[in-house]
Amino acid sequence: MPALSHLSVEVEPGELVAFLGPSGCGKTTVLKIIAGLLRPASGDVLIDGDSVLAVPPEKRGAAMVFQKPLLFPRMSVAANIGFGLKMRNVQKDHADRRVVTALRRVRMEGFADRRPGELSGGQQQRIALARALVIEPRLLLLDEPLSALDANLRGEMRELVREVQEQEGYTTVFVTHDQEEAVVLADRIALLFDGKLQMYDEPQAFYDRPASRRIAEFFGATNFIHGRVRNGTVETPLGNLSLAEAAPAGEVTLTIRPEAVRLGEGENSFSARITRVAYLGTRIDCGLNANGVELRVVLPPDARMREGEKVTVRLPSKSLWVLRS
């Protein structure tokens, strides 16, 4: 079975695209093919419209940051950052200035003379990023560089990556298995399952307009309603539901995100019983049952809900989406 199949993605200049998917889906393979570390069995890789399949990795103008920083332990921070410039025979005075600039970009001024062993994991990853930036790449490749950091450091590094990318305009490909990370960082997301591209779109589309049930589930959707489209409405166990956009007649599955479900009378309303209430600090997570259909709703933390209580629920038509599969 091939690691990738029929994958075609175009990344615009200055754009940050995230390749997202579970472990083993092929996203790191994509990055290695772009970098020249792997050669595809078929297909091509174009940078600025030119094929680079015959171009060795060091001449593709790409810089890669890995999950582990891979710093030289006996070299100073400055020497680690400047290593790529030294290999390119950049004049020392010019290289030193670029190292200082790279340190400033990653907010590590004053650490030039340290050794990697004296740095925290987050600081080491900043140096790895600086080492990639100092060569002024045409293409910045990031292979899950934040996954080994704790939650606070991940948040800081996300901000830093996005800040540097926006300020410098680097075309960036970012690999991650973290949905939140992809949504926060990316201009567009390429979602992979089993080596195949499932959807390529802006982050909000994965929440509002998922292309399939599997995609919806991957992004946390839990409400699925089976029905049949007839005469412009969807016949369901909850009653006839109207849609904001017309759908072809026949069997369908609708989805609506838990945070889009509303309480009270109105369009697409029906009666339901509360089966579960969980207070989660910033929100209340409730389970509902309506005529055998299980639904989940997320409410503000000050909502007063009791298990067993009957409520009126409505599903706004603009928040209902018809899934392909």
The per-residue pLDDT for range 69-126, each reduced to its tens digit, is 889 999 999 999 999 888 888 999 999 999 999 998 888 888 999 999 999 888 898 8
Asked whether the predicted pLDDT for residue 161 surpasses 90, the reply is: no
Asked whether the predicted pLDDT for residue 276 surpasses 90, the reply is: yes
Band (4; pLDDT cuts 50, 70, 90) = confident
C-beta of residue 25 within 8 angstroms of C-beta of residue 115: no
Residue whose C-alpha is closest to residue 200's, from 2, 6, 1: 6
Query: Any idea what DSSP says for residue 58?
Result: G
pLDDT recorded at residue 159: 84
pLDDT recorded at residue 14: 92
Pairing of strands 224-230, 284-290: unpaired
> Which residue in this structure is represented by tokens 């000050």?
302
C-beta of residue 9 within 8 angstroms of C-beta of residue 36: no
Asked whether the predicted pLDDT for residue 143 surpasses 80, the reply is: yes
pLDDT recorded at residue 1: 62
Helix (H, G, I), strand (E, B) or coil at 320: coil
- Burial class from Cβ neighbours inside 10 Å (0-12, 13-18, 19+) for residue 324 reads exposed
Q: Which domains does the chain have, with CATH numbers?
A: 16-214 (3.40.50.300), 221-323 (2.40.50.140)
Q: What predicted TM-score, i.e. pTM, was given to this entire model?
A: 0.86
Query: Any idea what DSSP says for residue 317?
Result: G
**What average pLDDT does the segment 252-261 reach?**
94
pLDDT recorded at residue 160: 83
C-beta of residue 148 within 8 angstroms of C-beta of residue 90: no
User: Within 10 A of 78 (CB to CB), how many other CB atoms are there?
Assistant: 20
**pLDDT (tens digit, 9 = 90+) per residue, 179-216?**
989 999 999 999 999 999 999 999 999 998 999 999 99
